[in-house]
Structures are given as C-alpha cells and as structure tokens.
Structure 1
Amino acid sequence: MKNKAVWPRKLRSSEWFGGTGKNAIMHRSWMKNQGIPADNFDGRPIIGICNTWSELTPCNAHLRDLAERVKRGVYEAGGFPVEFPVFSTGESSLRPTAMMFRNLAAMDVEEAIRGNPVDGVVLLGGCDKTTPSLLMGAASVDIPVILVSGGPMLNGKWRGKDVGSGTAIWKFSEMVKSGEMSLDEFMDAEQGMARSAGSCMTMGTASTMASMAEALGMTLPGNAAIPAVDARRRIISQLSGRRIVEMVKEDIKPSDILTKDAFENAIRVNGAVGGSTNAVIHLLALAGRVGIPLTLDDWDRLGRDVPTIVNLQPSGKYLMEEFYYAGGLPVVIKAVGDMGLLHKDAMTVNGDTIWNNVKDVQNYNDDVILSPDKPLTEHGGIAVLRGNLAPKGAVLKPSAASPHLMQHTGRAVVFENIEDYHSRINDENLDIDEDCIMVLKNCGPKGYPGMAEVGNMGLPPKILRKGITDMVRISDARMSGTAYGTVVLHVAPEAAEGGPLALVENGDMISLDVPARNLTLNVSDEELKRRKARWKSPIEKGNGGYAGLYIETVMQADTGADLDFLVGKRGSIVKRESH
C-alpha cells in the first residue's frame, strides 16, 4: 500500500515516520526492535488501540482479548495497529471514588493520543468512568476515533433466579438489615452475582454509557448490549478495527459526530432505556470538550416526555442479556424515531445516519422492550429540580422512584457527611420515621472529594422492619446506576461550596414536587442568611498531588464536574522534538 495511491491527504503519523531524515529513521528504528517489518511504515495509517484493561478493573479485565480482535481488523483494512494503556478507573475498588479520577483518566487519554504517532484510535472501555473518560480525552484531540465497549456480564444466577449485579447488592443488603435474609444467604448469593467477564448486566452506569456512546454515534450499531463473552463481541471489535482505517481515510472526527443533535438523541434514548443519572454528568462534561452548549435544562426539556420502554433492572425486570436478545439499543433508537423524537440525519462512525442504521430492525421480545403505548414509566428521562435548596439544579430518576413520594413534604434528618451517616443510621434511637427526608451533605465534587455514589443512603433498620423500602433522600452526591429509590442527587451548588444544602438543619421541612420540578427548603431567606454567616467550609486546605489539583479546579455537577482547565478542544497538533 502506497501513501499517495490510497491516502489523498498527509497522514499525521508521517510527521514521525515519513522521510529519510534523522528523526524519522530514529523513530522507525526504535519501533523495529519489536520485530515490525519495514513496510508497516510505508505510509499506511497507524491506528492506536487505547486500552483501559486492568486486572484491578474487573469490568475491563477481558479487554486484552478484544484488543487482539481489533488488531485483526486493522490489519485486514491495511492499517498498522499499536496498543497502548491508559489509566483505568475501576469502579468496584478504586478509592475514594472512581469519579474523582475520571478527569485524570481523560487527561491521560488526551495526552497519549496527541503525543503519539497515531492517525486514528480505537477506544476500549466498559467500566463506568472509562467510557466517558475515553470519549472526553479523545474529543479534546479530535482525530478519528471509534469506541468499542467490553459488554455486560452474563445474567447473575442464584437459587434458580436471575440477579442483577449492583442492584442485588442494594436489595439484599436492605433485606439483611430488615431480617428478611440471613447473612449466610447473602454470602451465598455473592457467588452468582458476577459469573463472567464484563460490566454490570443491569442498566447501570456502564451499560448506560455504552448506550449513550451508541446513541451519540460513536460506536458501530448494536455495540452497547452484546454480552462480554458472546462471540459477537469479538466480531464487532474486529469490524471496528476495520472501520477505523476507513474513518482515517474519510477524516471523520468526533467533532463531525458529536453535534447538538447527537446529544439530544442521546438524552432521549437515555429516557427510553431508563438510564443512569450519571449519564447527566458525563454528557455535560463531554459536551464541554467539543464546545456544544448543553445544560441541565436540556436534559429536562428533552427527556421529560420520553417513556421508559426498556424493562430492565433497576427500574424493571430483566437484564442486559435479554435486552440484547430482544434486539438491543437499535430497537430503542428506532422506537424513539418512530415517536418523532430522533434527529434522524445525525451522523455515526460507520458513515451512515443513525436512522439508516436502525430503520429496519425488529423487536424480538416486547416484554423486554415495551411498546411506547404501554411503557414502564410514561414520563421517563431525568427530572431536573430547582428551588432554594438547589439553585443550580438537582436530578432525580423517575423510573426508579416511588410514585407516592414524587410529591412529598417531610422533616429533614441531616447527616453532615458520610461518616456521620454511618455512625448514626443503625441507632434505634435515631429520631426518624418513614415520612422524614434524609439529607446528606458534603459528598459533592469538592466535598468527598470526587462525588461518591452514596446518595442512595440505606434506610434505618427500624424503618425497614416496618416493610418500608423507600424514603425521599437528598444529597450532593451521586448514586450507582444500579441503584433505585426516590433519591435527589447532584444538588448544586454542593454543601462544601456553601450551597444552601450546607444550611439545612434537623427538623427543617423540605418539599419535593417532581411534577412541578421543585425542591424547596421551607426556611426563610433571613434565617438562611444567618446560618450562612455562621457556616465554615469543611474543605481542608493544602492538599497536594492530584487531590489538591482536583479540589481546586473541579467544576460543579450542573456543568459536568470536569476540571475547569480541561474544558474545550485543544486539537492534535504537538510540537516536534528538538533533536
């Protein structure tokens, strides 16, 4: 393959490998110590495989195999694949929270792509924060990229029943506290919750973000739902390897795909699948990287009238295996289009429109993917709440909430931080009943730091023993996409920034009105001013390292919690070396 015969424009990698100069010879000769034939540098595109594989990120521990499949596809299409690692944000083990390191991983992705001789990149992700970090970093560089997800695990199994990873944890742990399940049974159930490679098989954040990537047009059609161990996951990896070579030839970049129409499509698809509230914060951050004006109000405006039609845990009954067998995300996208809610001309990485990709698909199980006329929730999406308790907004997931609590006024029971919650929640003398509203402070981007998934606070045992399974909970934290309940999250400004949440006291009355999109602290402005004058920031000064940088520069949840200096597209140009 000759450069001039196939590639009508100069390849980016030729800045490193092209010609007979000293630097080009140096670059090629060092690469050749890996046993690479000389003709791999004859002008064919260099394709990076940006891999978040890590044995400390269980959801992504199988990505080395998928990388090999991608390489096959790249070679088949005439490219030269080179695999490289980036920081892997493992949701299940990384402390204090994986979200704190999403932006660090995005920095790693951005600089690794910009600084290396690659013409296009295949992004390999799966676990919750790896998908947005890959997309954010790649978008800031803006060379051709395509994303391949690791896929969900096989359904969890326990005593003849399907159990969803994550969702079962929340459910079973509450059952242990209420006495409905023994600790031995809980330990036994553990063995069947995660029984194959892959990410959570509920519609948690991992599956939601895979769905968002597909709805945005950044993956091949059908990518989101293929189980990790299904042979078709390997096939789509290989096909993606082929496709990225063509994308380099066609010069299709993230900025060509990540348009306002694409984000609006994704928001509506999120409502239809009953996606995680974490999608809000990740898409806001991604939009910031490509300069697309996207706000919380867009989420409420676009998602409010979208019915949730995917009957998956935590909102519904089934798991990702059934979703894939029913036809997967293409069926949902087609349904959104049939409702007149899809920008059908939005471009995708395969070079065709999103509508052409899905217009002929079929639904093979209408109990898994429901008819819009008989939805799981008539008004799905994400509800954006405002009021004197959340001047810059807060979010709630209607499909996972209890209808009888969507309009509720209750007495605040306040936990100043997560340590305070853990020290008091099991106390039988805690002054709380099922009509109260649990309030958790100082768990936002700066306050935790990192905005941990602790917003779905477990209920007190004495409430659970009454058979009560849900209460209104409010915090500046996030919650796992596998979680459920009437939980108000992402309150902005956060308590650690001195937002109104910081001023709530035990006994205050709070009113939640989801239909009216209102969240009100029933305390006078004068009293709040007096409380604010006494307030002291809980943030410790003098933090070094990445934690210090994060706390100083992280933005609030309503704009995506990116680091302020990372917003925007910086492009692919990098200075040449001096030698």
Structure 2
Amino acid sequence: METKNDLRIRSKVISEGVNRVPNRSMLRAVGFSDEDFKKPMIGVASTWSEVTPCNIHINELAKQVKAGARDGGGAPMIFNTITVSDGIAMGHDGMFYSLPSREVIADSIETVTNAERLDGIVAIGGCDKTTPACIMAIGRMNIPSVYVYGGTIQPGKLDGKDIDIVSSFEAVGQYQEGTIDKDQLYKVECHACPGAGACGGMYTANTMAAAVEALGMSIPGSSSTPAVNDYKESECRQAGELVVGLLEKEIYPRDIMTKEAFENAITVVMALGGSTNAFLHLLAMAHSAEVDLTLDDFERVRQTVPHLADLKPSGKYVMQDLYEVGGVQAVMKLLHENGLLHVDCLTVTGKTIAENLAEVASLKEGQEVIRPFDQPFKPNGPLVVLRGNLAPDGAVAKMSGQKISRFEGPARVYDSEAEATKAIEDNLIQEGDVLVIRHVGPKGGPGMPEMLSITAMIVGRGLGGKVALMTDGRFSGGSHGFVIGHVSPEAHVGGPISLLKEGDIVTIDSDKQEINMNVSKEELEQRAKAWKKPAAKHRNGILAKYAHLVSSSSKGAVTDLNLD
C-alpha cells in the first residue's frame, strides 16, 4: 500500500520533469493550464446516466463539484461510470446484473483514479449500487475523498395520496387480484415517479445514503436533501472544496471509516428501519477499508437501538418527509443524546460527529415521522440475523411492520423467481405457506437478484404477513412482509436450503433468531449425499466471472476475497 506521503504527491508523477511533457500535452488538450500543473488533481466520479431517474440529474451536480474543487485550489476533472436501475431491472433477467454492477462501478472508479494518479476524489451516486460502490472504491484507494448523494425523488401524487415506485409493483398484484382495474393501474404507472431522484422510501438508495452520512464520508445533511432541492448544488460545491482541504490536512478515508464509524452506520440503519441490503453493502464497504465487520456486529448493535422511523415500505412517510422535519442529522442528534453513537469519530468536514451535531437543530416539534425515543415501534432494530439448520452462516429478516414474530408452515419450493411467479399467479401459494426461492444467491443466480416483484405480488393479493418468503437471493429495500433473505450458504454450493423438499415444515422465529426445517439430521445427511452441484449458468461474460469470484452473502458478496 502507498504511504500517506506517497499519496500526497500522486499527481506529481505526471506533472513534473522533462520526461512528463507528453503527459502534460495530453492534459493541456483537456483544458489544463500552467497553473493547473501546480495544483492537486481532483477526480469527480460521476454516475450520471439517462437509464434511471435516480441519476439523470447527476451530470449537473458533477459540474458543481468541479467548480467547488477549482475554487478550493484543485485541478478537477469529471469522469463517468455506469449505473443500473434496479426498478427497471426488476422481475426479469436484467436483475441478475444489478449486484454485479456494484463491483463494476467500484472497479472502474479505482481503475481511472489510480491510472491517472489523481490526488483526491469526490464521488456522486444515486441509484442503489452506486453509493456502496463509490465507498468501496474510496476505501480501497484510501486517498482524500468525499461522497455526495444525488438525493431522493419527490413522492408521486394520485387521488390526493402519496405514491411511489413500490406502489406500481403492488398495483400489479392488485390488478391481478381484481381489486383495481386497468385504468387505475395505468394512473399509478403515470404518477409514481414524478422526476429526478432515487426511490423515495427508506429503500436501499436512501438507506445507504443515510449509512454513509453516519459513517462520516458525506457532508452532514447530504442523504436527506431531495434531488430537486436547490441546496443540493451547494452541497456539491462544498464537497469539491472539502476534498482539497482533506488533502491539505492529510485526512484519509480509513481515518474516517473505522470500526466505530461502521457501528454508527448500523445504528442509523436500524433506527430508520432500512433495507436488508445494508448488510451486504456495509460488509463490502468494510472489507474495502480493511475493517473487520461481521453479521454478529449487526446483531450486537441491533440489540441496543430502537426502531424509530415511520418510513416506507412498512411505514407511512418518505425521505422528503424526514428532510422536512430535520433529516438524518436530526435523527443522529437524537441517537447521540441517548448515548448510541460513537461521536468522537472523524468526518469529511474535518470535525468529529459530535462537533457536527452541535450545530444541528433537533427534530421539529410535533412531527410524526420519527417516534419519541421512549415510544419506538420496536425496542430493538428490525433487521434480524437468523441462524439454524437452514442457514448456519446466517440469514436476514426484516421485521418492521410485522405483528407476528414466529411463522411455521409447509415449504413451497421453487428453483427460480419465474417458477415462483407463476405459482402465485396460478393461486398455488396459500395463507400459511413458506414460499422458498433458491438457486438465486450470489453464485447461483448468479448475481443475487431482488424479489420485489414477488413480495409486491404477495402484498397486492392480500397475503402480506400471511405467507413467509425465504430465499438465498435478496430483497429490494421496497419489500415488506414476512421475508427472509441472504440465506447462507446458498443452494448453489450445497447449502442446507438446497436440501429442502416440498412440504417440509419450516419454522422461522425472530425472537429466538432461528430458522429451521423440521427434518432429522440423519435425513439431511442422506439428502446431502444425493445432492449434485448444478452446472454453471454462464460460461463467459461478466456473470460467468462474477459467479466464479463472488463470496457468500454473509461476507458481503465481494469479488476480491481470498484471492491468494
């Protein structure tokens, strides 16, 4: 690894000396002047794209970052990477590419930054995978960096009510059940997403943005400011200025992204009732920063943190509502006042969490988005790690909005999302069933697809909470109901979920944190002897490479683990 002194002068290798004339010629062609060669080179990693509303506005934000970096004394350059829209990829083969895109984004930012020997980075994300991917790249490179979130979308309006993208998925189930007609379905489609910004509830994009703010890697308030708010441009200018200041102060990402900082991120996710995807992404981000984080850490933190937020998908409000009553910073202030944050942790402002929060107003009086600390929805966080003979390495349950904590029923086993979808459409899934979708894990999918379409169909048909759904895949942050994902080891590598048979009784108990099948050890041993590993689904291309390299979901589904 480069030393801090090495990192401080990275760009000098292409700006000094007679032999660097060709380097400077190339840079002059993109606008560098004599003075620019005396300044630190700052990269602006933009995830701008027209394929999703989450990122469609980010090009303009990148320009503001560039202006801020130039005003701060840097020589900035914008470069781009990809994004994938999970909402558009949902429910078909496109979803297999969603989680792998996180690695592509992180790898591309690392590649450009290190190839060009940039001194600092401001990364701007929007859609689900862009936030963790940017932080993963930042953690690997460990050069002065700031993350900026593109911001949340405004809620759509229909018949005087707020709706969002999850309303569209659930409307499909309602239409299939006959509770709404085609005209109403069309109205939902046309009104759910009114403009730029990431999906509005406490879904994965907003969850991860809040986590990164708590981690200390974004400007205080960045995760809450809506995409269309004029202040978002000011945040971006500030980020550009800050990264030059971090370089001067020699403050590096791993100075900020400590074990305690990750515990702060988990604390905020639990209080807000965030997405189960936070487990995957925070584990991967910690791995990139060489921080030892495990599922046990999530569970340890969860036990001390109440669930306070009445946010979608299980609640009533969206991220813009949280912004209007004080935002994530006000929630952090509340958590700090109750002793739940490590407030000595450093942040990209150059100040500690405590110093930042000293300048923050408390939540507005009379607001209903965040419960009083002594009146939580649940006394502990709603994202629960389960273990048992179905998931010896762990599974993750999202219990927010659930009135029951234990579910037992016969397994209805399917080896693909398509098979399960057809079963639901044919009314084969009934109240009391445990719907199992396997061979959709990181290797088996490959790509660990999300099951939002499935959960939305279940809710839309009136079976929410009446049917349990278990998978070695994962769930969208918009999913709710009695859902258990990330079952590990996955079916593709012979995990116990691969041995489950139709009709086996499955017991899920979030209080005991257990997930088991009522099958004897002897019977499981016989089934294991008869099990045969499925053939690889892909022989070339990104999915083949991903399936070959990716780790277990319990390790963050990273592709650079144990490469020795």
Residue in 2 aligned with 1:143? 143
Contact preservation (8 Å) 1:121, 1:244 = yes
Contact preservation (8 Å) 2:386, 2:394 = yes
Q: Distance in 1 between matches of 2:131 and 2:258?
A: 18
Residues 450-459 or 212-221, more deviating: 450-459
Residue in 2 aligned with 1:54? 49
Q: Distance in 1 between matches of 2:457 and 2:77?
A: 52
Q: Counterpart amino acid of 1:189?
A: V
Structure 1 gaps of 5+ residues are: 1-6, 569-579
Q: Distance in 2 between matches of 1:490 and 1:357?
A: 35
1:436 aligns with 2:411: no
Q: Distance in 1 between matches of 2:260 and 2:494?
A: 35
Contact preservation (8 Å) 2:468, 2:482 = yes
Residues 43-52 or 103-112, more deviating: 103-112
Equivalent residues in 2 for 1:59-78, closer than 5 Å: 59-78=54-73
Residue in 1 aligned with 2:249? 250
Contact preservation (8 Å) 2:53, 2:195 = no
Q: Decide whether aligned partners of structure 1 residues 455 and 182 sit closer, same or farther in structure 2, where only a CA change above 3 A counts.
A: closer
Q: Counterpart amino acid of 1:482?
A: G
Tell me, what secondary structure is at the counterpart of 1:252?
coil
Residue in 1 aligned with 2:481? 485
Residues 102-111 or 471-480, more deviating: 102-111
| Cα distance, 1:220 vs structure 2 | 0.7
Residue in 1 aligned with 2:544? 548
Q: Distance in 2 between matches of 1:555 and 1:270?
A: 23
Residue in 2 aligned with 1:224? 223
Equivalent residues in 2 for 1:114-513, closer than 5 Å: 114-165=114-165, 167-359=166-358, 360-364=360-364, 366-400=367-401, 402-404=402-404, 406-428=405-427, 430=428, 432-454=429-451, 457-458=454-455, 470-513=466-509
Q: Distance in 1 between matches of 2:227 and 2:203?
A: 15
Tell me, what secondary structure is at the counterpart of 1:357?
helix
Q: Deviations over 1:251-304 (max 9, x none)?
A: 111110110000011111100111100010000011111211111111111013
Residues 469-478 or 268-277, more deviating: 469-478
Residue in 2 aligned with 1:36? 32
Q: Deviations over 1:166-186 (max 9, x none)?
A: x21343223223222112201
Contact preservation (8 Å) 2:142, 2:254 = yes
Tell me, what secondary structure is at the counterpart of 1:403?
coil
Q: Decide whether aligned partners of structure 1 residues 471 and 459 sit closer, same or farther in structure 2, where only a CA change above 3 A counts.
A: farther
| Cα distance, 1:379 vs structure 2 | 2.2
Contact preservation (8 Å) 2:431, 2:463 = no
Q: Decide whether aligned partners of structure 1 residues 510 and 35 sit closer, same or farther in structure 2, where only a CA change above 3 A counts.
A: closer
| Cα distance, 1:455 vs structure 2 | 6.7
Contact preservation (8 Å) 1:126, 1:199 = yes
The normalised TM-score by structure 2 is 0.94
| Cα distance, 1:245 vs structure 2 | 0.8
| Cα distance, 1:71 vs structure 2 | 1.4
The normalised TM-score by structure 1 is 0.92
| Cα distance, 1:456 vs structure 2 | 7.0
Q: Decide whether aligned partners of structure 1 residues 417 and 562 sit closer, same or farther in structure 2, where only a CA change above 3 A counts.
A: same
Q: Counterpart amino acid of 1:141?
A: M
Contact preservation (8 Å) 1:50, 1:121 = yes
Name the % identity: 37
Q: Distance in 2 between matches of 1:55 and 1:526?
A: 55
Q: Distance in 1 between matches of 2:130 and 2:240?
A: 19
Equivalent residues in 2 for 1:17-28, closer than 5 Å: 17-19=15-17, 21-22=18-19, 24-28=20-24
Q: Distance in 2 between matches of 1:57 and 1:149?
A: 15
Q: Decide whether aligned partners of structure 1 residues 38 and 508 sit closer, same or farther in structure 2, where only a CA change above 3 A counts.
A: same
Q: Deviations over 1:480-501 (max 9, x none)?
A: 1011111000000001111000
Contact preservation (8 Å) 2:452, 2:479 = no
Taking only aligned residues, the RMSD between alpha carbons, in angstroms, comes to: 2.1
Contact preservation (8 Å) 2:439, 2:445 = yes
Which ranges of 4 or more aligned residues in structure 1 deviate by more than 3 Å?
7-10, 458-461, 463-470, 564-568
Contact preservation (8 Å) 1:306, 1:381 = no
Residues 261-270 or 446-455, more deviating: 446-455
Residues 213-222 or 544-553, more deviating: 544-553
Q: Decide whether aligned partners of structure 1 residues 316 and 460 sit closer, same or farther in structure 2, where only a CA change above 3 A counts.
A: closer
Structure 2 gaps of 5+ residues are: none
Q: Counterpart amino acid of 2:131?
A: T
